[in-house]
Amino acid sequence: MTNTRRGMTAEDLYQIRYVSDPQISPDGKTVVYIETMIDDDRKYRNHLFLRRFEDEQASALTDGSVRDTYPRWSPDGSQISFVSNRSGKAQIWLIDAKGGEARQLTHCKTGVSNPTWAPDGKHIVFSSQLDAGDTFADQEGEETTGNKETPKAITVERMKYKSDDNGFIYEKNRHLAVVHVETGEITQITEGAYNHTIGSWSPDGKWLAITASRTENPDFQHSIDVYLIPFAGGEWKKLTNSRGIFFYPTWSADGKKLAFIGSESDTHLNATQKRVWVYDLERGEKSCITSDWDAQVADSTIGDVRSPGHPNPGPIWSEDGNAMYVIASERGNSGIYRVSLSGHVTSVVGGDRNIYGFSLHEKEQTLVAVISDPFIPGDMYQVHLTSGEESRLTAVNHELFSGLELSIPEEIEFEAQDGWKVHGWMLKPVGYQPGKKYPMVLQIHGGPHSMYGNTFFHEFHILANQGYAVLYTNPRGSFGYGERFVQACCGDYGGKDYGDLMSAVEYACRHFDFVDENRLGVAGGSYGGFMTNWIVGQTNKFKAAVTDRSICNWVSFYGVSDIGYYFSAEEIQANPFTNPEKMWQHSPIRLVANIETPLLIMHGEQDHRCPIEQAEQLYITLKHQEKGPVSFVRFPGASHELSRSGDPEQRVLRLQYTADWFAAYMDSQVKVASE
């Protein structure tokens, strides 16, 4: 029988959908969720869907050329609040749970985020960016659309004046307010030159648990603390000690305890695993209940279809208050675990996959999770807690994927040069034939404190369809393998992490007889771009390389990145004042004279995390030293999120440039992506 299936292409991105942010109704009978797609105009769209568990199909609650996100049930289940850009900026809207026309609740000029219902169903707390000196009264009125005239001059007073997430923030801060559901009246509850994030309401509605950076000098002190704010007004209570970062505070049902996720560290905030903490409000004591569990309590999996930052439900308490449910990452998988107050950990929903969000209704013994694996970008499953039985509720890519041929990743583990175990995967080319040799591309993830895993990765399937074997691993610095492993690259960028990657290549060439060791490529973005630059400066083993959103010079990165001045101190363990030599030693640009590998450099022009000057330096230095072939591709308007949530057409172009570069310099017989 003739195989009519085809391999995956870059343009398939326009058809891929995924599901996110499921929320079970108060009665446990229905779930509301988001479906994300790219429309015919090549724009992202998010719509709300409802699915009664007893029904066969979901129904659309919203539609149109809009981005509707963050659905939340009112306490009585009669209404759903959500955030929508349908009137310009993102605002809170309300819609009857049975459907109908939505009603706009807020009219803030700069938009809002994270609306959370009070237990009384009469109020919703939300957050918004305010300029210094502004109040929420100044916010009400006609929404800005981003087309304002650019000011002639801007004064910058702080170090944290830009953000890859929010652009140039200057003197803006994130503040919280409460809106009355019936009248629309807004009451501001935070102020000052600080940033605040919503947590949750106490069961009696008298307190709000939030997180905030309210240190004396937040430019230098990066801690995030947990606070309690009395809704009726009065003195705040600070529950943590400004020695770490904490998120997602949630209340036990009796209101006597608060749980949150975070870490305490004086030296490795980025590379310290997040753990579960509990604060006993009667005793006034904070304790870490997962101190003996060497795991990252968060989803640290990297993919390239879903944008990062999926709403984290935080620790979800059991009804009896003796345990909570959390997402954690281990060995390339992220799952749901039940953690008792004594620290006992039990897997609830696991497997070789990436669980990136969930909602729980313990009375009905049901849980809804959104899940990805190497063949599923993101779908929703119902899990019955008593039996463990799973039911798939969505299959949003069935039509597209039923016509595709995709390779199955093979899990691998090998020893690095010093005996450490390193974990990864090999993806064979589509149409693999035993006895034939294939070129191989080593892919390197960003972070470095993240992990590759059992999730969908569009780029890998494209390369496999182009005739490449794809090798991807988690070198030292990755989450998922314990805290010692994740901290092992700090101060050693380009050292044993580089050794882990080269050991992976050596293992693949030795273990898989289909790999042609004379046709090897390497690619990566962010930290992966740094490592790609480093690799081609160390060895000529690779026939082609693609560096994306990369770092080449730690000395200049210090002053231009939105995180540079503190990231360098933690990760390189040096700064330009006390040890510039160490920063230079870890900078790939000093190795340009050694580079012989054809190098494609790609970068977004509005990248504030790894600013484009890094790519410019590398490109000009290579050209000035008459190195090549080298090509530089700039993406106007693109941030650091170019490859994940950037402009869809730019994402497709980036994938085509990558495949074309490898085709040109690794194997002329491999078909070109844009053909």
- Among 127, 450, 640, 643, the active-site one is 640
Count of residues making up the chain: 675
Q: Say if residue 475 is preceded by a cis peptide, omega within 30 of 0.
A: no
Question: For residue 520, how far is the Cα from the chain centroid?
Answer: 29
| Catalytic annotation, pick one of 81, 526, 568, 587 | 526
For tokens 């020893």, the residue is: 415
Q: Reduced to 3 states, what is the DSSP secondary structure of residue 404?
A: strand
Strand partners, 278: 259, 287
Which of 74, 118, 119, 115 has its CA nearest to residue 98? 74
| DSSP code string of 249-268 | EEE-TTSSEEEEEEEE-SS-
Q: DSSP per residue over 217-254, as a string? A: -TTT---BEEEEEETTS---EE-S-SSEEEEEEEE-TT
DSSP states of 161-196: -EETTTEE-TT-EEEEEEEETTT--EEE---SS-EE
> DSSP secondary structure string, 4-70?
--B---GGGGGG--EEEEEEE-TTSSEEEEEEEEE-TTS-EEEEEEEEETTSSS-EES--SS-BEEE
Asked if 526 is an active-site residue, the reply is yes
DSSP string across 305-317: SSPS-PPP--PEE
In DSSP terms, 93 is beta-bridged to: 82, 104
CA quadruple 472, 440, 12, 64: dihedral, nearest 10? 30
Please confirm, yes or no, whether 47 is among the known catalytic residues: no
Q: What is the C-alpha to C-alpha distance for residues 180 and 175, in angstroms, rounded to an integer?
A: 17
Residues noted as catalytic: 526, 640
